[in-house]
Amino acid sequence: MEKIYDVIIIGAGPAGLSAAIYAGRSRLSTLIIEGNAEGGQIVTTSEIANYPGAEENESGPSLIARMVAQAEGFGAEFLRASVTDVILDCDPKIISCGSAEYYARSVIIASGAQPARIGCPGEAELTGAGVSYCATCDGPFFDGLPVYVVGGGDAAVEEAIYLARFASKVYIIHRRDTLRAAKSIQDKAFAEPKIEFLWNTTVEEIKGEDFMESMTLLNVKDGTRTEVSGQFGLFVFVGFKPNSALFEGLLETERGYIKTDSEMRTSLPGVFAAGDIRVKSLRQVVTAVSDGAVAAVSAEKYLDEQAG
C-alpha cells in the first residue's frame, strides 16, 4: 500500500513552508514537494528588511533556513522533485513527479510566481545587487538615489510613483512612445515632478562585479546608446508569471492566478492555494506565510469533516 498523506504541499517557498509548519505542528502527515532549492523567490534577495522580526541584515536564505528547520522539526517530509501532473478531483488526490506518484487527502498549492525578465546580459547575475523586481521590498534601499523603472503597464507606472517617495529621480524606461497603464495612473505619473520618461528605449546590457555599476540604454528609434553609471537602482516590471500551468482547466483562475476564498479554499474540495499563486493584492513574504498558515488550518478542518 502506498502511503496516503494528510496533506501534500506543492512548493517550498514562504507560503509552502508556513503551511508545512502549521500542518506538521497539528500532527498531520505532511509532504512538501519542491522542484528547486527551498525558499522560492526570496532566496534571490540578500536583504529582507520588511519582514516582521527579521534580524539585522537578514537575507532571504537565512530566513528560509530557519523556516525549513522549523518545518522539519514539526515532522514535515521534504521531497526535491518537480510536480509534473495532478489529479485533484478524487480521493486520494494524486500528485505525480515524473513516473513517481504521491497520494494525499488534501493538497495545498504554493507554487508561487516569478517576475518576467528583460532578458539582457547581466540581469540574472545582478538580480538582488541593484536589479530588483519589487519596489515595496527594495525601494527604501535607494533613498536619495536615482532609480530606473522598466515597463509601461499599470504595475510599472504605479511602482514608479511609489519609488518617487524615496528616490531623488525616477526614470521610466519604455520601449514605446505611449504607456499601456490606465489613464488615471498615467495622469498621476505625469504630475509627479520626480518622474521623467525615456521613450523608445530598452536596457541593452547591465554591468557590474558584486553590484550593478552601469547599464547601456538603447534608443530603438534612432539607434543611439547611452551609458548610465554611478549609484542607481533598476526596477523591472515587465510582467509577473504565476506557476499555474499544471492547474489550468482544473481550478478557477484569473489571469493564471488561482482564485480562493479567505480560507484559501479553491474551487475544488480539499484543494487549497496559498501565497503568490493566488489572486491577491500584496505579494510579499508576510502575506505568503499568512496564507500558508490559513491554508493548513483549513486543510485540517476539511480532513476532520471528511473523517466525520
Q: State the catalytic residues.
A: 134, 137-138
Q: Could you tell me the smallest distance in angstroms from the CB atom of residue 191 to ligand FAD? A: 29
189 is an interface residue for ligand FAD by CB under 6 A: no
100 is an interface residue for ligand FAD by CB under 6 A: no
| Residue owning grid cell 489550468 | 248
Closest by CA to 46, choosing from 122, 162, 54, 283, is 54
Q: Could you tell me the smallest distance in angstroms from the CB atom of residue 282 to ligand FAD? A: 8
234 is an interface residue for ligand FAD by CB under 6 A: no
Q: Could you tell me the smallest distance in angstroms from the CB atom of residue 194 to ligand FAD? A: 23
Measured CA to CA, the distance from residue 293 to residue 237 in angstroms comes to 29
Closest by CA to 50, choosing from 296, 298, 283, is 283
Residue of 48, 64, 156, 296 interacting with ligand FAD (CB under 6 A) = 48
Residue of 30, 243, 253, 260 interacting with ligand FAD (CB under 6 A) = 243
Stretch that binds ligand FAD, among 31-39, 158-166, 221-229, 263-271 (CB under 6 A): 31-39
14 is an interface residue for ligand FAD by CB under 6 A: yes
Query: Nearer to ligand FAD by C-beta: 122 or 179?
Result: 122
Measured CA to CA, the distance from residue 16 to residue 32 in angstroms comes to 7
Measured CA to CA, the distance from residue 281 to residue 276 in angstroms comes to 10
10 is an interface residue for ligand FAD by CB under 6 A: yes
Query: Nearer to ligand FAD by C-beta: 98 or 225?
Result: 98
Stretch that binds ligand FAD, among 10-18, 21-29, 63-71, 255-263 (CB under 6 A): 10-18
130 is an interface residue for ligand FAD by CB under 6 A: no
285 is an interface residue for ligand FAD by CB under 6 A: yes
Residue of 6, 16, 118, 203 interacting with ligand FAD (CB under 6 A) = 16
Alpha carbon distance, N-terminus to C-terminus of the chain: 24
253 is an interface residue for ligand FAD by CB under 6 A: no
Stretch that binds ligand FAD, among 132-140, 143-151, 159-167, 247-255 (CB under 6 A): 132-140
| Residue 110 contacts residue 15 (beta carbons within 8 Å) | yes
57 is an interface residue for ligand FAD by CB under 6 A: no
Q: For 86, phi and psi rounded to 5 degrees?
A: -140, 145
CA atoms within 13 A on the CB side of 13: 30
Grid coordinates representing 43 are 532566496
Other beta carbons within 10 Å of 7: 30
- Please name every residue paired with 218 in a beta bridge, in sequence order, or none if there are none: 202, 225
In the chain the beta strands, taken as DSSP E runs, fall at 4-10, 30-34, 77-80, 85-87, 93-97, 100-109, 113-115, 131-132, 146-150, 169-173, 195-198, 201-208, 212-219, 225-229, 233-236, 240-242, 253-254, 257-258, 271-273
Query: Nearer to ligand FAD by C-beta: 40 or 233?
Result: 40
Residue of 8, 63, 113, 167 interacting with ligand FAD (CB under 6 A) = 113
Q: Which residues bind ligand FAD (CB under 6 A)?
A: 10-16, 33-36, 40-42, 44-45, 48, 50-51, 82-83, 110-113, 115, 127-128, 133-134, 137, 243, 246, 275-277, 283-286, 288
